[in-house]
């Protein structure tokens, strides 16, 4: 995304703020959060430093909003199509997830691990993102007949961590093919779901993967 440098645009303050956040996410892809300064954003957006403080209270506020935008992005891009059946949803979500992590590796690492640095805001964003995605998985499993019990919710969190760890390890060192990765993730999760599905539920016997 490029922004018209120094040219006046007719955006509303809200639209302008959204645009600045998009720019922030874009800039974050190539640097650490520490390096993402208000000065840099002002320069790249072609507006004054003073004006930026109209949109963001301070640097921390700006950082939090940028990371939150990145998290919202991940959630949106992996959102399953509600018209699809549960299996298609699971596989499509995993594919979108792997694509997201591959394209936004450093941002994703910041999103899920940066919180370890003691920044409470980042930790909260990471927790909320995981909670949202886990809730979505529980919903998908419910479509396959698994009641949304406390156990199902715990297992869903575990499944997310499972996928997270594997994809984070895979991207910088892809020892297996992408298709094998997606199939392995899907099959593992389905195996877990099957293990906890009540006997009367018929899970898809034919998975869309080779062995």
Virtual CA dihedral for 203, 204, 206, 211, nearest 10 degrees?
A: -60
Site string for a second copy, 28-67 (x = CB under 8 A): ----------------------------------------
Residue 105 engages a second copy in binding (rule: CB under 8 A): no
Contacts of 141 (CB under 8 A, 6+ apart): 86, 148, 152, 156, 193, 196
In the complex, the smallest distance separating the C-beta of residue 186 from a second copy, rounded to whole angstroms, is 10
Residue 175 engages a second copy in binding (rule: CB under 8 A): yes
The residue behind tokens 């910088």 is 172
Site for a second copy in 150-169 (CB under 8 A): 150-151, 154-155, 157-166, 169
Q: Are 66 and 24 in contact (CB under 8 A)?
A: yes
In the complex, the smallest distance separating the C-beta of residue 192 from a second copy, rounded to whole angstroms, is 5
* Region of residue 132 (phi > 0: left; psi between -120 and 50: alpha; otherwise: beta): alpha
Site of interaction with a second copy (CB under 8 A): 113-118, 150-151, 154-155, 157-166, 169-170, 175-176, 180-181, 184, 187-188, 190-192, 194-196
């Amino acid at each position: 995304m490029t922004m018209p440098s120094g040219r006046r645009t007719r955006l509303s303050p809200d639209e302008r703020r959204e645009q600045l956040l998009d720019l922030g996410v874009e800039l974050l892809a190539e640097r650490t959060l520490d390096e993402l300064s208000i000065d840099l954003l002002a320069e790249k957006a072609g507006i004054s430093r003073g004006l930026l403080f109209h949109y963001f209270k301070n640097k921390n506020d700006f950082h939090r909003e940028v990371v939150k935008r990145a998290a919202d992005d991940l959630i949106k891009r992996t959102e399953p199509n509600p018209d699809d059946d549960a299996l298609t949803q699971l596989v499509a979500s995993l594919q979108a997830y792997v694509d997201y992590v591959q394209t936004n590796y450093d941002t994703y690492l910041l999103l899920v691990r940066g919180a370890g640095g003691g920044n409470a805001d980042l930790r909260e964003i990471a927790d909320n993102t995981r909670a949202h995605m886990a809730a979505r998985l529980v919903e998908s499993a419910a479509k396959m007949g698994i009641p949304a019990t406390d156990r199902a919710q715990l297992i869903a969190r575990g499944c997310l961590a499972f996928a997270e760890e594997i994809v984070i390890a895979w991207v910088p060192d892809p020892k297996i093919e992408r298709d094998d990765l997606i199939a392995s993730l899907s099959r593992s999760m389905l195996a877990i779901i099957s293990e906890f599905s009540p006997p009367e539920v018929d899970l898809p016997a034919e998975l869309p993967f080779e062995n």
